[in-house]
Structure 1
Amino acid sequence: MTIHAQTMRQQFAAQAVIEELLRQHADTPPRSTFARFCGNSPLRSDSVSWYLGAKGEIVVGQILATLPLEWTSFHALPIGKKGSDIDHIVIGPGGIFTINTKHHAGKTVWVAGRGLMVSGQKQPYIRNAEYEAGRVTKLLRERMPLLPAAQPVLALVNPKSLTVKVQPDQVKVTTAAALRRWLVKHPVVLNAGDLAELAAVIDDPATWPAPLFPPTENVLARFNALDAEVLAARSRRRVWSFSGTLALCAAAFGAWLLLPAVLGAVLTGGPQ
Structure 2
Amino acid sequence: MTKEELNSMKSDDLPFIPALNELFVKIYAVKKADEQAKIRKTTSGNYLWRVQSRIWDIKQNIDDIALTEQLIAGHDPGFSKLDKTVNAAKLIRYDYENFFLRMGKMRDLFLQLINEVMILNLKKAPNMEKKLLKMLSSTDPNFVKAWADIAKDLDELKPYRNHIAHNGFIEIPDLALVNAFYTFDMKFENRLEEYRHEFVISDTQRELVDKFSAVIRSHLANIDQYLKLIYLFLYAPFIKNLDSMIEKK
Q: TM-score, normalised by structure 1?
A: 0.30
* Higher-helix-fraction structure: 2
Larger strand fraction of residues: 1
Q: What's the TM-score once normalised by structure 2's chain length?
A: 0.31
Bigger radius of gyration, 1 or 2?
1
> Relative contact order (alpha carbons < 8 A, sep ≥ 6): 1 or 2 greater?
2
